Structure 1
Amino acid sequence: MGIDWDVVIIGGGAAGIGAARRLAESGVSTLLLEASQRIGGRAFTATLAGHALDLGCGWLHSADRNPWVRIAEASGFAVDRRRSAWNQQYGDLGFSQAEQEAADEAYAAWHDRLNSEPPPGDRAADALEPGGAWNAYLQAISGYISGAGLERLSAADYLAYDRASTRYNWRVPAGYGTLVAASLPPTVALRLATPVEAIDLDTGGVGIVTRAGSITARSAILTVSTSVLAGGTIRLPAALDDWRHAAGSLPLGRNEKLFLEIVGEGPFEPETHVIGDPHDAGTGSYYIRPFGRPVIEGFFGGEGARALAESGPAAGFAQAVDQLAALFGSEVRAVLRPLAMSAWSRMEHVGGAYSYALPGRAGARDSLARPFDQRLFFAGEATERHDFSTAHGAYQSGLRAAEEVVASLGVRAR
């Protein structure tokens, strides 16, 4: 079999770019295939109304150890280190101080039960107080963090991320997606709009079937989402059934964003935050005038994101405006205009936001990360044991997979 490339990377998100950066140091011939017409994956910055808006990941989580901070600064991107306003309710609107304290206490009690009395079935919902007054609030928080309700969430997986997080969250004013997309090394070949249809392992290397023809490589790194792996978008040989099953244990959660433009004057202070209705598991969370820009960023997770995807953009914008009007007064309806909405769950080559482990299946992350026959390697945020669901976790997984490839090929960094 003739070999076209030493390594083919399938997927041009943060994991694929991380792998490409490491492989570029090693001098191996590398091709990156991306199904869409852009790179960055679930990191995507759109310029709308003159503003850089992140429709995907927007915060550099665990920023004090996040490798994208170093990459950003080395590449000339500014990094904003201001503390986020997430845990504050501007003016206590619709959420009094007493209620906030009660909600925080309910969260702390649930979290303590997860740690001290782990649910026997590893189901995070089993640590809820039966009939608890703030259970809907805790479900909303789970939706933002994991993209799913607590009934579907592994307690062990949740705690693995929670214990590793450093709570530092910074931003890139130019956009996280802009940073990720700008970080692909120029020495790595790139083919956009080239979906992979099948992988063939019957030969000595790896055969990759695309709509534009077949490609052969000594090794390949598969960085696509668990939704793509488990859903059959790419035909995989039976030898990879264990990896496909592992991906099925790590489904993508539902998380969507919408942006409202503020036109004219309004009671919206820069860098503030409100949760729409803390008693509604599907409520939106609203970050107001980030960087002072005249926009409101609405974030919906779990049940809220599901409803947003099913009801459509018009209903989603109407819900957001209704929640904001209930807090700030009906006059704000006159100054809020729909600007943009994400649709990650409907994208064929993505299929959702980021991974969470089903109860009892946290170990599937290690299973998915295993190489196959030193020819096919796996990366992506879902393969990270502690930093899953993040762009830095995806990047780190790409570096790890590239190191495995470099070792298997017996090459050294230049």
Structure 2
Amino acid sequence: MSGETLASGSVDVAIIGAGAAGVGAARRLQALRPDLSLVLLEASDRIGGRARTLHPVELGGIVIDLGCGWLHGARTNAWTGIAEEIGLTVDRTPAPWSEGGHQLERDAADAKAVRIAAHEFFERIHAYDSEEDAALSALLAAGDPWNEYIHALGTFLTGAELHRSSAIDQSRYDPGPGPDWRVRQGYGTVVATYAAPVPVHTGTEVRRIDHSAANHIVLSTAKGELRAKAVIIAVSTNVLAAEKITFWPPIPDKIEAASQLPLGLANKLFLRMRTPEAFPADAHLLGSYHSGRTGSYQLKPFGAPIIEAYFAGDLAHDLEREGIGAAFDFSVEQLKRVFGTSVEDILSPAVMSTWASEPFVGGSYSYAVPGASDLRQVLAGPHDQRLFFAGEACSVTRYSTAHGAYETGIAAAETIAKTMA
């Protein structure tokens, strides 16, 4: 639904944000409490949130995921089963960077050395048990020649530089047992298709939530006011921290928690190939082992004639500001290292994500600043048993993932189902 005013002046449950958490919450509520009326309100013009699948004409209509792309912890990832349940295809080919995948330069001396350095770094993270938190940068081994590589790896994981990210938070991260799989039709397609039975109003930005009355909550939206008995707020931490939704009475603990769990940034650039035979299929390549500012490149995913370039942290912010041309030039210079100078003549830029500029998101996935990991539980806690919060940032161990977001939506829905008369 889009364009129309809200059809009903009141519902039992209103859910704000049609991403993985909001869609999951809505479907769970429908299953557990079909007697409850609900509506899903989405500020943008589409369903899926940070899971967004496109079929660009300039790429011949092939499937690309601008946001979520991999079913991390696929064996216990709820979206794996959902994808198959709704008739989509889960591809179980090993991720190119994983065991059994096609990692270019895997046997090169640099690649072997960085694997050892990264393994030791993660061991220090997992063993970190200090009562006082520290930045991930504090866990770098002094003088390690591969610290720049580890810095780049850290930005891929958190979307932020090591000195901004909490060591305790990273030590708690557990997406579940691997491997990483993909959905051939796209991760965004999974979330959007799963939302089909849910009454969704797109283009409906919620600007104010008045929970001052004892028996109802008033949501002021771009399409009028709506009353609800309970509300699930499943929007990004950057939206909450910027107070794009205002609360009355204020709930400063939620705003503070959101501000300390900001969104990092990871963007993708898709490059078109003129001569696909010049590149191996479903292979992976790191742009540089010696710089913290590097891209990660997936060559010909599913055999398609494209390269998916991935940038994170400050590099992603810089390239997003400078535009697709700058991102293309950066990628080409890195790819020349392996494929030679002629690679510039057989590649061209096609599509690039700009998640920092997305007005109703503002980034990619949450990280905790040092000392803030426990605030994930603060953010996730219900307020007055009427306002519920969900989204990847509310997950203690599966933050930054679509299935972590889904699980928090399920938790909110189950609480409402049990407690609402």
Amino acid at match of 1:318: D
Query: Deviations along 1:241-295, whole A, 9 cap, x unmatched?
Result: 1011111111000110010011124421101010001111120000000000001
Residue 288 (structure 2) aligned to one of 268, 277, 280: 277
Cα offset, 1:359, TM superposition:
0.9
Other-structure match for 1:4:
10
After the TM superposition, which residues 70-109 of structure 1 pair with which residues of structure 2 at under 5 Å, given as runs? 70-87=81-98, 90-92=103-105, 97-109=108-120
Cα offset, 1:169, TM superposition:
0.4
- Alpha-carbon distance in 2 for matches of 1:311, 1:96: 35
Cα offset, 1:114, TM superposition:
2.6
- Alpha-carbon distance in 1 for matches of 2:349, 2:299: 14
Q: Does 1:249 align with 2:249?
A: no
**Is the Cα–Cα contact under 8 Å of residues 147 and 252 in structure 1 kept in the other structure?**
yes
**Is the Cα–Cα contact under 8 Å of residues 21 and 406 in structure 2 kept in the other structure?**
yes
Cα RMSD, aligned residues only: 1.7
Residue 214 (structure 1) aligned to one of 215, 218, 225: 225
- Alpha-carbon distance in 2 for matches of 1:114, 1:393: 21
How high is the TM-score relative to the length of structure 2?
A: 0.93
Change over 3 Å in CA distance of 1:302–1:165 after alignment to 2: farther
Cα offset, 1:91, TM superposition:
4.3
Amino acid at match of 1:193: G
- Alpha-carbon distance in 2 for matches of 1:91, 1:367: 43
After the TM superposition, which residues 12-411 of structure 1 pair with which residues of structure 2 at under 5 Å, given as runs? 12-25=18-31, 26-27=33-34, 28-48=36-56, 49=59, 50-87=61-98, 90-92=103-105, 97-118=108-129, 120-162=132-174, 164-186=175-197, 188-203=198-213, 204-410=215-421
Gapped regions of structure 2 (runs ≥ 5) = 1-7
**Is the Cα–Cα contact under 8 Å of residues 12 and 39 in structure 1 kept in the other structure?**
yes
- Alpha-carbon distance in 1 for matches of 2:223, 2:395: 32
Cα offset, 1:108, TM superposition:
1.9
- Alpha-carbon distance in 1 for matches of 2:150, 2:322: 23
How high is the TM-score relative to the length of structure 1?
A: 0.94
Question: Secondary structure of the equivalent of 2:251?
Answer: helix
- Alpha-carbon distance in 1 for matches of 2:124, 2:85: 43
Percent identity between the two aligned chains: 42
Amino acid at match of 2:346: V
Q: How many residues align?
A: 405
Change over 3 Å in CA distance of 1:376–1:265 after alignment to 2: closer
- Alpha-carbon distance in 1 for matches of 2:233, 2:302: 36
Amino acid at match of 1:349: F
Cα offset, 1:125, TM superposition:
1.0
Query: Deviations along 1:21-49, whole A, 9 cap, x unmatched?
Result: 01111111011100000000000001022
**Is the Cα–Cα contact under 8 Å of residues 313 and 341 in structure 1 kept in the other structure?**
yes
**Is the Cα–Cα contact under 8 Å of residues 21 and 185 in structure 1 kept in the other structure?**
no
- Alpha-carbon distance in 2 for matches of 1:176, 1:141: 23
Cα offset, 1:304, TM superposition:
2.1
> Which 4+ runs in 1 deviate beyond 4 A?
87-91, 117-120
Amino acid at match of 1:21: R
Cα offset, 1:238, TM superposition:
4.5
Gapped regions of structure 1 (runs ≥ 5) = none
